[in-house]
Amino acid sequence: MPHPADHDPEQSAPPGPDRPRRDADGENPAATRRYLDLIRTTHEEWDRLERAGDSSVQLSGSALAAVKESVRADARHGAHVHMPPTPAGPFTVSELTLRTLVRREIDAIPGARALRTTFEHEEDGAAERRTRGLPTRARCRVSALLGTPDLPGLAERIREAVHRAAETELGLTGLTVDVHIEDLHEH
């Protein structure tokens, strides 16, 4: 199997004034130098502005906190999932939103409790990073109340509720809903 560097145009061609050298570990000393220069220049610019009393280089505490929190929020939200557009334009929902919607529907059914739901999606070649295509299948893992007389009936009610919510809430038709009763709970 060829080494990845073999396919790297920057590596396969001889280094020159316009072509940075990159070693076998993927390091790029020229890029590192440029980055260090950029940081150095930034520091110098900030120092100069601060000395001049220009407050534009300072971020408020809440602005900084918002950035930090947005990183955590991104982790909570998960990837975004394409939905059928509304008449007014496109929209996506986060994986968190999808899971919350399914959980809400399942937990509203007497005797059922949502555990974990995963989705399969259409392939979407145009999707950006961390964006998924339309959901095609939901796999709902649930717990049933101990003593529920008709477990297949319970599964069917769950399937119908999730299917209906996907259509009403999101405009998503044709979603296949698998229900796995993988636990029993007493109350």
* 3-class secondary-structure state, position 181: strand
Cβ proximity to another protein: between 10 and 169 the closer is 169
86 forms part of the interface with another protein (CB under 8 A): yes
Per-residue binding letters, 144-173, with another protein (x by CB under 8 A): ------------------------xxxx--
90 forms part of the interface with another protein (CB under 8 A): yes
53 forms part of the interface with another protein (CB under 8 A): no
- CA gap 128, 92 in Å, rounded: 12
Which of these segments, 10-18, 68-76, 116-124, 156-164, binds another protein (CB under 8 A)? 68-76
Phi and psi at residue 117, to the nearest 5°: -125, 135
Q: What per-residue string of b and e applies to 25-63 under the rule 16 or more CB within 10 Å gives b?
A: eeebeeeeeeeeeeeeeeeeeeeeeeeeeeeeeeeeeee
96 forms part of the interface with another protein (CB under 8 A): yes
Which of these segments, 4-12, 25-33, 72-80, 153-161, binds another protein (CB under 8 A)? 72-80
Burial of 158 (0-12, 13-18, 19+ CB in 10 A): buried
Cβ proximity to another protein: between 83 and 142 the closer is 83
Write down the residue that tokens 């109350």 correspond to. 187
Burial of 106 (0-12, 13-18, 19+ CB in 10 A): buried
52 forms part of the interface with another protein (CB under 8 A): no
Judged by the rule CB under 8 A, the positions of this chain that interact with another protein are 56, 59, 63, 66-67, 70-71, 73-74, 76-77, 80, 83, 86-94, 96-97, 100-101, 103-104, 168-171
